[in-house]
Amino acid sequence: MASHNTMKCGDFRTTYEKDSTIFPTPFSRKMVLASIAFLLIMPIFADSYVLNLSIQIGYYAVAALGLNILVGFTGQISLGHAAFFGFGAFASAWINNSTGIPVFFSIPLAGLLTMAVGLMFGVPAGRIKGLYLAIATLASQYILEDFFGRAGWFTGGPYGAMANPVSIFGFAFDSDQSFFYIVLFWLVLSFVLGANLMRSRDGRALVAVRDHYLSAEIMGINLTKYRIMSFGISSFFAGIGGALFGHYLGFISAEGFNILLSIQFLAMIIIGGLGSVMGSLMGVIFMVLLPEVMEFAAGGLRDVFPSLAHSMTYLKQMSIGIAIILFLIFEPDGLAHRWRMTKAYWKLYPFSY
């Protein structure tokens, strides 16, 4: 008798739910779980340098995810993301210092307060697009920067503000090893929320607004509503990332939230991949490690070129612009696209043509 054993020889998806799942394959689910397990034990053996870079990647990735939802998924440009990042840092410290609410709870409250401010700027910005939108968001950057310098009751003015360490039930997360877990918690939670948002009806509406706003409007999608909503969501994640940044440093100064940081956030999502949740994280990793790699590479050349020691700051800033240009020329879809192409190649190997 002929054998009726069957073998799966493809990846078949028969429902929309399966097609929009967060983990396309069981292997990808296992890899994510293994990565989280590795991160949970990493502080045990990692030194302070590695933990410091990991924490930077964590809070920048949360904020970059918000910008990618606004720019990558909704198609709304923003040049003021650093200001909302800074507002979240000041808001969390202000909530904790003025009300006594524990830092662990002031972080999400700062995200909500930043979202409210983002919605305020989103109302006028939600009705314009293109160059006019870029100018409007640039105005929000400078308006908030001026607010940081003048609102001494909120930011400490030119003196800055102190941010207490995170504490829960009397235990203070005041070291790199312990604060790493706070950042990891918010990183995983934010990316799960972001990935699920894109699978929802509202997430598909945001993408429709980006791809063809006229068709989306004909289908009954309220363009203004979803554009304003995207500003609010983006500001919420920026506020969370900023709050983590502030409580990690312990001191917040308005000088760090300038237009250069906004451009760096744009570079993160362009390099990682616009419209990709995973690309937000990949772009941040690239941008955080790029200066460190350049510092390491320049270390071996300083004996030959002593002037490198004085020019390193400028070279690091130049490298950001060069990286953006090279990615726009050679890999406009970002690292996430290259990662998908690499996976597809090896999945079909040796028939990957």
Domain presence at residue 20: no
State pLDDT tens for residues 36-93: 899 999 998 989 999 999 999 999 999 999 999 999 999 898 999 999 999 999 999 9
Distances (CA, A) of 151 to 93, 109, 162, 211: 14, 19, 15, 40
Which structure tokens are listed for 339?
């990662």
Q: Is the pLDDT of residue 221 over 60?
A: yes
pLDDT at residue 27, rounded to an integer = 74
Domain presence at residue 255: yes
State pLDDT tens for residues 222-277: 888 899 999 999 999 999 999 999 999 999 998 889 998 999 999 999 999 998 89
Top mean pLDDT of 124-133, 137-146, 219-228 is at: 137-146
Domain presence at residue 30: no
Domain presence at residue 8: no
Domain presence at residue 16: no
Domain presence at residue 73: yes
> What is the average pLDDT across 135-150?
92
pLDDT at residue 328, rounded to an integer = 83
Top mean pLDDT of 72-76, 130-134, 211-215 is at: 72-76
- Exposed/middle/buried for residue 47 (C-beta within 10 Å: 0-12, 13-18, 19+): exposed
> What is the average pLDDT across 212-225?
85
Domain presence at residue 118: yes
Give 327-353 as a DSSP string.
HHHH-TTHHHHHHHHHHHHHHHTTS--
- Domain range spanning residue 224? 46-348
For residue 124, give the CATH number of its domain: 1.10.3470
Closest CA to 331 of 283, 261, 262, 265: 283
When the pLDDT of each residue in the chain is averaged and rounded to a whole number, the result is 86
State pLDDT tens for residues 152-196: 899 988 888 999 999 887 788 888 999 999 999 999 999 999 999
As for how many domains the chain has, the answer is 1
Domain presence at residue 22: no
